[in-house]
Amino acid sequence: MTASNTKTLATNRKAFFNYFVEQSLEAGIELCGTEVKSLRKGAMTFKDAWCEITGGEVFIRNMHISPYEQGNIFNRDPLRKRRLLLHRREIRQLQVQVAQNGFTLIPLSIYLKGPRVKVQLGVCRGKKNYDKRESVAKRDAARDIDRAIKGH
């Protein structure tokens, strides 16, 4: 995502707090035209979104894309499941990884790569409560260090 033609539309910060990201990969997403226009405006949330593999296809669930105001009859259901575009071998590889105990597929970010909308997927393992407290403590310590540096 470091290329000059990419623009991040949204990042799932809650995913990084609740999960350890073991591996990430890029996938295309199948959208209708009004959904793309709504995404470009930033009218979406996916903090509770997750992915499932069904029938050899990967779907993203619980991602809310608000209806486009000028879309009238072409608007779709905001919470419908959307198909992700991956190669067959990538889907098989993800199936093997997700079949392991404690792993799940979580969308990490949505971005534009040229004219196309892409999703960064993460193969994630859930954090325990003590792991979450540790990451909050690290973040607070880093914030205190930054404040001390700015103060001097």
Contact of 65 with 43, CB cutoff 8 Å = yes
Given this model, what pLDDT does residue 71 score?
A: 66
Given this model, what pLDDT does residue 19 score?
A: 86
Q: Which residue bears the tokens 């093997």?
A: 96
Given this model, what pLDDT does residue 76 score?
A: 74
Given this model, what pLDDT does residue 25 score?
A: 93
Given this model, what pLDDT does residue 5 score?
A: 83
Given this model, what pLDDT does residue 85 score?
A: 94
Helical ranges in 2-117 per DSSP H: 13-18, 33-40, 88-99
Number of Cβ atoms within 10 Å of the Cβ of 24: 13
Per-residue pLDDT of the chain (152 residues; tens, 9 = 90+): 455 688 898 888 888 888 888 999 999 998 887 888 888 888 888 888 889 999 989 999 998 888 877 767 667 777 788 899 999 999 999 998 888 887 899 999 999 998 899 999 999 888 888 778 888 888 899 999 998 988 87
Given this model, what pLDDT does residue 90 score?
A: 92
Nearest to 18 by CA among 99, 119, 122: 122
Contact of 60 with 51, CB cutoff 8 Å = yes
Give the whole-angstrom CA distance, residue 98 versus residue 56: 13
Given this model, what pLDDT does residue 74 score?
A: 65
Identify the structural domains of the chain with CATH numbers, from first to last.
6-127 (2.40.280.10)
Contact of 75 with 33, CB cutoff 8 Å = no
